């Protein structure tokens, strides 16, 4: 373990006009009692006395081996190396990149250069997004895509210029590209300072705490309700909602506990893979068939379910019940049947973008030698396309959790705290371009003992 406290560094990226300078000024003018050094590449925009502002031209240094993963920011090495010699050291460093910067070299600098690595620790990458213009930018430039993919925090700024629906769609799209990032919305870059500083962003614990579902598998359905039903006729009512049709599978014999729900979900995935039958309002629903409820008509719609003998059913629906104010009513007496259990799943999205992210979560102990061979080969072949990677490993015969992170083909890891009572698990997240989730997952599993 390193006894010396390393100075945390936040990298601030974002296209011109996304609000970087506003955010920077906000951070610097707030009372946080920290001595902050700012290294900025666009001249003369920040003028705050409390912080040391250093202008440095962005100098991208490629190596003779031609590997883009070894490319570093020479100006940062020089400036940071000198900064750390002073007795009145800094508590924090902020690096603002130019709008068009590829975040790779900046991040790599903190892995590649031994002297920098000794003194500094990359705390996080914060990317500001101009909500009104990012969709155009994403189509046009690799840099904006990479700025999204590398981020630990995505600040959707200027939200006042975009409709709520548009923002939801934008957020969903950005999340597909980067499942690891925390997304915050703001109008004038007015986000709390602690959402961008001291992130310990590379600590996956925190990510899991914020969004416990992010390692979970995705399902083609978003919601399950479990209902205990007696024999009789039931009416499923839906009000107007966000979609003119909705997929549904009704499963008989559904338990309400977590294990039963997961088992049911896995079974249901196969039903969802079958083509759906269109079902018009007023029709009866068959059990264990993939159907598409036709909801184009205005107003309330009803479908019917006939139950021969008492059974507990699970409704696996493409949307949540709330979105359509969906209710199950006993026809005999008009009583609403309450759900005994409900579960919201991580819904699958269409992955339009080349850049995406996925997670591997599995039990088992890793053989460090096999892992090393597999990972070295993976990074050698796909390092350019793997933007970021982080996670925990359960290493055979080691009582401590192993924590790692990587940028392109650079990889850094060390033993973390003991597993103790925590269940031993491997959790890995990959973000990159055109990554083959199945083959990477299969490759990882060959490293298990």
User: Shortest distance, CB of residue 25 to another protein, whole angstroms?
Assistant: 21
Interface with another protein by CB under 8 A: which range of 5-13, 52-60, 211-219, 346-354? 52-60
Q: Does 86 bind another protein (CB under 8 A)?
A: yes
Partner residues linked to 233 by β-bridges: 306
Q: Is 79 helix (H, G, I), strand (E, B) or coil?
A: helix
Helix (H) or strand (E) holding 9: strand 7-14
Between 63 and 231, name the residue whose CB sits nearer to another protein: 63
Between 87 and 380, name the residue whose CB sits nearer to another protein: 87
Q: Which of 16, 29, 50, 63 binds another protein (CB under 8 A)?
A: 63
Q: Does 57 bind another protein (CB under 8 A)?
A: yes
Q: Is 343 helix (H, G, I), strand (E, B) or coil?
A: strand
| Interactions with another protein, residue window 115-174 (CB under 8 A) | 115
User: Shortest distance, CB of residue 4 to another protein, whole angstroms?
Assistant: 12
Q: Does 50 bind another protein (CB under 8 A)?
A: no
Partner residues linked to 183 by β-bridges: 154
In the numeric block, the tokens 């019917």 are attached to: 304
Between 58 and 143, name the residue whose CB sits nearer to another protein: 58
Q: Does 417 bind another protein (CB under 8 A)?
A: no
Between 85 and 210, name the residue whose CB sits nearer to another protein: 85
Between 109 and 144, name the residue whose CB sits nearer to another protein: 109
Q: How many residues bind another protein (CB under 8 A)?
A: 22
Please give the span between the terminal C-alpha atoms of the chain, in angstroms, as a whole number.
27
Q: Does 59 bind another protein (CB under 8 A)?
A: yes
Structure tokens at 406: 């990587």
Between 40 and 123, name the residue whose CB sits nearer to another protein: 40
DSSP string for residues in 186-227: -SSS---GGGTSS--TT-HHHHHHH-TTTTSPPBS--EEEEE
Q: Which of 29, 30, 62, 270 binds another protein (CB under 8 A)?
A: 62
How many CA within 13 A on the CB side of residue 171? 17
Between 82 and 434, name the residue whose CB sits nearer to another protein: 82
Query: Is residue 127 within 8 Å of 20, Cβ to Cβ?
Result: no
Between 67 and 442, name the residue whose CB sits nearer to another protein: 67
Q: Does 82 bind another protein (CB under 8 A)?
A: yes
Query: Is residue 360 within 8 Å of 403, Cβ to Cβ?
Result: no
Which pairing describes strands 355-362 and 426-433: parallel, antiparallel, or unpaired?
antiparallel
* Cβ-proximal residues to 38 (8 Å cutoff; 6+ apart), any chain: 24, 28, 46, 51, 52, 53, 54, 93, 94, 95, 96
Interface with another protein by CB under 8 A: which range of 62-70, 138-146, 252-260, 402-410? 62-70
* Cβ-proximal residues to 436 (8 Å cutoff; 6+ apart), any chain: none
Structure tokens at 128: 């500001």
Q: Does 413 bind another protein (CB under 8 A)?
A: no
* Cβ-proximal residues to 231 (8 Å cutoff; 6+ apart), any chain: 307, 308, 309, 310
Q: Does 64 bind another protein (CB under 8 A)?
A: yes
Interface with another protein by CB under 8 A: which range of 84-92, 131-139, 237-245, 427-435? 84-92
Provide, for the chain, the percentages of residues in helix, strand and coil under a 3-state DSSP scheme, each rounded to the nearest 5.
30, 30, 40
User: Shortest distance, CB of residue 117 to another protein, whole angstroms?
Assistant: 11
Between 295 and 409, name the residue whose CB sits nearer to another protein: 409
Q: Does 65 bind another protein (CB under 8 A)?
A: yes
Interface with another protein by CB under 8 A: which range of 79-87, 185-193, 373-381, 437-445? 79-87
Q: Does 296 bind another protein (CB under 8 A)?
A: no
Q: Does 74 bind another protein (CB under 8 A)?
A: yes
Q: Does 61 bind another protein (CB under 8 A)?
A: yes
Query: Is residue 101 within 8 Å of 143, Cβ to Cβ?
Result: yes
Q: Does 87 bind another protein (CB under 8 A)?
A: yes
- In the DSSP assignment, the letter for residue 366 is B
* Contact residues for another protein, defined by CB under 8 A: 52, 55, 57, 59, 61-65, 70, 72, 74-75, 77-78, 82, 85-87, 113-115
């Amino acid at each position: 373990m390193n006894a010396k406290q390393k100075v945390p560094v936040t990298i601030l990226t974002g296209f011109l006009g996304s609000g970087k300078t506003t955010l920077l000024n906000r951070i610097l003018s707030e009372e946080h009692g920290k001595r902050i050094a700012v290294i900025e590449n666009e001249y003369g925009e920040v003028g705050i006395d409390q912080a040391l502002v250093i202008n440095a031209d962005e100098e991208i240094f490629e190596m003779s081996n031609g590997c883009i993963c070894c490319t570093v920011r020479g100006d940062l090495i020089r400036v940071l190396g000198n900064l750390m010699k002073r007795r009145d050291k800094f508590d924090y460093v902020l690096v603002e990149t130019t709008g068009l910067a590829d975040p790779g070299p900046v991040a790599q600098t903190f892995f590649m250069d031994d002297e920098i690595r000794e003194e500094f620790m990359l705390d996080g990458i914060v990317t500001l997004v101009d909500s009104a213009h990012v969709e155009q930018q994403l189509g046009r430039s690799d840099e904006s895509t990479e700025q999204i993919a590398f981020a630990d925090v995505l600040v959707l700024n200027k939200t006042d210029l975009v409709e709520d629906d548009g923002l939801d769609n934008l957020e969903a799209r950005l999340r597909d590209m980067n499942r690891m990032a925390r997304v915050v919305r703001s109008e004038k870059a007015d986000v709390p300072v602690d959402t961008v500083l001291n992130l310990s962003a590379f600590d996956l614990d925190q990510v899991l705490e914020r969004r416990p579902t992010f390692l979970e598998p995705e399902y083609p359905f978003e919601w399950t309700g479990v209902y205990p039903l007696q024999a009789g006729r039931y009416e499923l009512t839906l009000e107007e909602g966000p979609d003119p049709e909705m997929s549904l599978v009704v499963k008989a014999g559904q338990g309400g506990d977590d294990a039963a729900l997961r088992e049911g979900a896995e079974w249901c995935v196969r039903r969802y893979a079958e083509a759906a039958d269109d079902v018009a309002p007023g029709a009866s629903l068959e059990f264990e068939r993939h159907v598409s409820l036709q909801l184009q008509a205005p107003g309330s719609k009803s479908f019917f379910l006939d139950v021969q003998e008492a059974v507990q059913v699970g409704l696996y629906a493409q949307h949540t019940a709330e979105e359509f104010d969906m209710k199950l009513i006993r026809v005999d007496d008009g009583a609403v049947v309450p759900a005994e259990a409900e579960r919201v799943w991580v819904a699958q999205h269409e992955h339009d973008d080349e850049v995406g992210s996925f997670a591997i979560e599995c039990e088992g102990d890793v053989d460090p030698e096999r892992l090393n061979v597999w990972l070295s080969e993976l990074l050698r072949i796909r390092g350019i396309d793997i933007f970021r990677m982080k996670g925990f490993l359960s290493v055979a015969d080691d009582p401590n959790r192993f924590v790692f992170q990587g940028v392109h083909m650079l990889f850094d890891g060390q033993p973390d705290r003991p597993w103790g009572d925590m269940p031993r698990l491997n959790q890995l997240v990959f973000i990159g371009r055109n990554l083959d989730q199945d083959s990477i997952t299969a490759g990882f599993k060959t490293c298990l003992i």
